[in-house]
Amino acid sequence: MVYEGPRSPGGPKRTPIGFDIYVIYMLADENDITGCEWDNMLLWETGLIKFEITCKRRKPCNTKHIVRITMGGGGVTIVDEDRFVETEPIYEFYVRKCENRAVQKIKLFDNKDFGYYMMDGLCGIWYCELNPREVQKPSCKLYSCKIVAAQVSSILPLLVTLGEDGKISMYDFDAKILLLQNEFDNASTDLIWFNERISLSGMDLVASFEDVVIRQTYVDLKAQSTPTIHLTRAIKAHTAAVTKMTASSRNSLLVTGAADRTIFVYNFIERHERLDCVHLHPMGFMQFDAIPSSFNWKDEKLTILIDYDEEESLHIPAIPNLILWLRYTDRNTIGVSMGGYDADYIYELQPGVKEPVRFTIIKDEIHSYLDVGEILILGLINGKLRINHINPTDFTDMRNCFCFNMHDLLNGAIPSILSSCDGKSLISVGYDGNTFIYSWFGPEIRQIVRRSNASTIPLIIPSVTDIADPNYPSLEQD
């Protein structure tokens, strides 16, 4: 848009100014209200600027760009990126921790309802009550940041998701309800829900965070008011952010990897001497040459396959490609899926052989998988689920497949695919913050008799102090 600006009668013509318009609202009289790049509002009449709405002394009305303008109830409502919703000329609402990008009234034709959905440019959807007549209820975030990990209960139809923002959410996916949410102050990386062979109650979890701490929690579904999550232990074993965790197939060890290029090993003690929850007993650590990014256990043996950010690929770029996942195959080889330049293949590696022995072409980055007998389900970077019918004579033959477009195409990479405890449901979570639950009619996954509720074992909830000090010593330093 080119704007010449106002000039006094007979005065010199000003130099035209080019500027961007970010939002426009068309009035009934064919005039328009727009935002502009210097964060004021402009009133247009027949294609010309009639008024510029600004603060005193030519200060901008807003500190960031206006992204939405609406009219109603005799006023103009504007939404801008500086976390304010303003109703001209007298009302102003502040939405904390939100970079406003759009707002939508929930009940469009109900003048007595003041509920709005607001899109957060920092990731998320908020519910806001913009009521100018009464004290408004606090705004709440409905739609969280990307989900980095998820786990299902081994005894109940429950799902726990871990958001990048440190929020733990538990759902009953049979009843389709949210049971509880608990948010930690640190960015999170991984989550494990201990099964009934490790945890007597089946309600013990451990989550890892970028502040170097792993936090063990217990979910109390029998709390008097609402289900509650309790912090039972905080452990700082590493000196850099924890990247990945895994529990052994024998249910005897927990292994954590971190950005300090170490792995730390714990064994499980089913009952602490004073508590009824799982106790992690530190055993020791190992130093490596790169950052662990994925783990895979070999059958029932205490042999673990570790993959790193700096694994060598067919082409060695300036920045090594990330290994997204790896697994043992029936041919006693190792299947590896990589990101970036090498994302179009699943490589088969033979221990002791420098080059890959074979490869399978997959057009998109694979971020997760679920093996269901003769079916292999892959979670892709573009939010698709790829269902592969495996050739019984050649498991690398993945031509018999079809895809479901489920998560967001651009931001919906799928980090986890899970099956319910009874094998009747599948679950996928995505970086787009969405969780999808599917009815499964394919080959039987497993059948576990569900408990009617969580274990009734009496639990002594310990009084635990979280680790908040970044200079708190690690186990090795201590």
Q: pLDDT of the chain along its 478 residues, tens only?
A: 444 444 434 444 444 556 777 788 888 777 888 887 777 778 888 778 887 777 767 777 777 777 778 776 667 777 777 656 555 556 667 776 777 777 788 888 887 888 888 877 766 788 888 777 676 677 777 666 789 999 999 889 999 999 888 889 999 998 888 888 888 888 899 999 998 888 878 888 999 999 999 999 988 887 667 888 889 889 998 889 999 998 887 778 899 999 989 999 998 865 555 456 788 888 888 888 888 888 877 765 555 655 555 544 444 555 556 777 677 777 778 877 777 766 677 788 887 787 777 777 777 888 888 888 788 899 999 999 999 888 877 767 778 889 989 998 888 899 999 999 888 899 999 998 889 999 988 877 665 555 555 554 445 666 678 888 888 888 877 7
Per-residue pLDDT, 9 = 45
CA–CA separation, 362 vs 396, rounded Å?
A: 10
Domain spanning 152-308, CATH class: mainly beta
Per-residue pLDDT, 88 = 56
Taken as a whole, the chain contains a residue count of 478
Environment class of residue 117 by beta-carbon count within 10 Å: exposed (0-12), middle (13-18) or buried (19+)? middle
Per-residue pLDDT, 91 = 66
In 3D, which of 311, 291, 180 has the Cα closest to residue 244?
Answer: 291
Task: Spell out a b/e string for 84-112, using b for 16 or more CB atoms within 10 Å of the CB, else e.
Answer: bbbbeeeeebebeebbbbebebeeeeeee
Q: What dihedral do alpha carbons 369, 246, 357, 399 form, nearest 10°?
A: -10
User: Is 324-439 assigned to CATH 2.130.10.10?
Assistant: yes
Strands of 236-290, DSSP E: 242-247, 253-258, 262-269, 279-287
Domain spans of the chain, in order of start: 21-87, 100-144, 152-308, 324-439
Matching fold, domains 152-308 and 324-439: yes
CA–CA separation, 171 vs 161, rounded Å?
A: 8
Per-residue pLDDT, 245 = 92
Coil, strand or helix at 342: helix
pTM: 0.69
Task: Spell out a b/e string for 329-366, using b for 16 or more CB atoms within 10 Å of the CB, else e.
Answer: eeeebbbbbbbeebbebbbbbeeeeeebeebbebebbb
